[in-house]
Amino acid sequence: MLVEEFERIERAAPETVRLEFVHGRPVVKPGADGARGATLVHLVGAFLAERPEPALCPYRGRTTRPYGAVVGIPDPVGITLRTVKLRGCA
């Protein structure tokens, strides 16, 4: 295929696909979707700035305990951790 033929086909192709000319052959690739992804990230960021609920941001409801304390992990785990061995880690 000639480059001129490829350019004519490329101009007629819809914006949802991208054509490339590789080793004398046309290759069809999906179009980029970056604009929609950036919009979604912006909307999620704006929502979280307005409503920073602990369920959406788990670290906001965090509690700390001193090293060596006994820490209970709630259900469904339901275990108790003894943190005495962690004293030397800090």
Does residue 12 belong to any structural domain of this protein?
Answer: no
Does residue 3 belong to any structural domain of this protein?
Answer: no
Does residue 49 belong to any structural domain of this protein?
Answer: yes
Distance CA 68, CA 56 (A): 30
Mapped onto helix, strand or coil, the DSSP state of residue 21 is: strand
User: Where residue 32 falls among pLDDT bands split at 50, 70, 90?
Assistant: low
* pLDDT higher than 70, residue 74: yes
Q: Which helix (H) or strand (E) holds 81?
A: strand 79-82
Does residue 40 belong to any structural domain of this protein?
Answer: yes
Does residue 23 belong to any structural domain of this protein?
Answer: no
User: Where residue 63 falls among pLDDT bands split at 50, 70, 90?
Assistant: confident
- At 59 the pLDDT is 58
Distance CA 46, CA 40 (A): 10
- At 52 the pLDDT is 63
Looking at per-residue pLDDT, the higher value among 11 and 89 belongs to 11
Dihedrals phi, psi of 4, to nearest 5 degrees = -65, -40
Distance CA 47, CA 11 (A): 40
* pLDDT higher than 60, residue 60: no
pTM over 0.75: no
In terms of residue numbers, what domain contains 45?
A: 34-89
Does residue 21 belong to any structural domain of this protein?
Answer: no
* pLDDT higher than 70, residue 5: yes
Cβ count near 26 (within 10 Å): 14
Does residue 61 belong to any structural domain of this protein?
Answer: yes
